């Protein structure tokens, strides 16, 4: 009898804890939260309350800033994407995935060294390498087109290493 009474008391006293604990772990609740969660944090130096962006909102702002960079550069006679441009391409990919009706043209460019035919082919490889990279990140092939201008549209008309480096690029055009 005493054991039965103890069990009833435990069940009654623990019930509120069980129900409040379960609500925080519900996946549906997590998905329905707004993406723009902002909390407040006290700034001990000034006494002001400053907003703290949630990681998703911070990423969104960072990606918006990164998407303003529409050019990626290549080493001499290369068409492989350098790791330095991964964040920029991830930002473009995130935008294109979120906006499936948006289309981009990826232009491939070269410096003036090499024959016109070779540079057209190299510009095409650079453009296609960029598209392939974006596809691996989840962007639909149907959203992207490729074009090569070879050496025909230099960014810098100089004839030195600095100018050549600026001209070896792929440009993402929205």
> What's the Cα-to-Cα distance from 60 to each of 66, 67, 133, rounded to whole Å?
10, 10, 20
pLDDT per residue as tens digits for the range 13-71: 444 444 444 443 444 333 333 343 333 444 445 555 545 445 567 677 888 888 899 99
Domain boundaries, the chain: 59-173
Which CATH architecture fits 59-173?
Answer: 2-Layer Sandwich (3.30)
Give the H/E segment covering residue 52: strand 49-53
Q: Write down the pLDDT at residue 140.
A: 98
Quote the pTM value: 0.67
Q: Which residues contact 111 (CB under 8 A, 6 or more apart)?
A: 76, 119, 151, 154, 163, 164, 165, 167, 168
Which residue would you say has higher pLDDT here, 33 or 141? Answer: 141
pLDDT per residue as tens digits for the range 59-86: 778 888 888 999 999 999 999 999 999 9
Q: What is the dihedral of CA 93, 125, 84, 151, to 10 degrees?
A: -110
């Amino acid at each position: 009898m005493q054991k039965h009474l103890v069990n009833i008391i435990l069940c009654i006293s623990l019930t509120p804890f069980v129900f409040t604990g379960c609500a925080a772990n519900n996946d549906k609740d997590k998905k329905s939260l707004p993406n723009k969660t902002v909390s407040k944090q006290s700034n001990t130096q000034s006494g002001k309350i400053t907003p703290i962006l949630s990681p998703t909102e911070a990423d969104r702002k960072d990606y918006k800033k990164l998407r303003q960079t529409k050019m990626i550069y290549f080493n001499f006679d290369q068409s492989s994407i350098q790791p330095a441009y991964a964040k920029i391409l991830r930002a473009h990919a995130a935008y294109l995935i979120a906006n499936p009706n948006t289309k981009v043209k990826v232009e491939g460019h070269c410096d003036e060294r090499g024959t016109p035919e070779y540079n057209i082919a190299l510009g095409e490889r650079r453009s296609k390498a960029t598209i392939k990279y974006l596809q691996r990140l989840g962007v639909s092939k149907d959203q992207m087109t490729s074009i090569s201008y070879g050496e025909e549209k230099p960014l810098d008309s100089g004839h030195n290493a600095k100018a050549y480096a600026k001209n070896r690029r792929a440009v993402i055009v929205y």
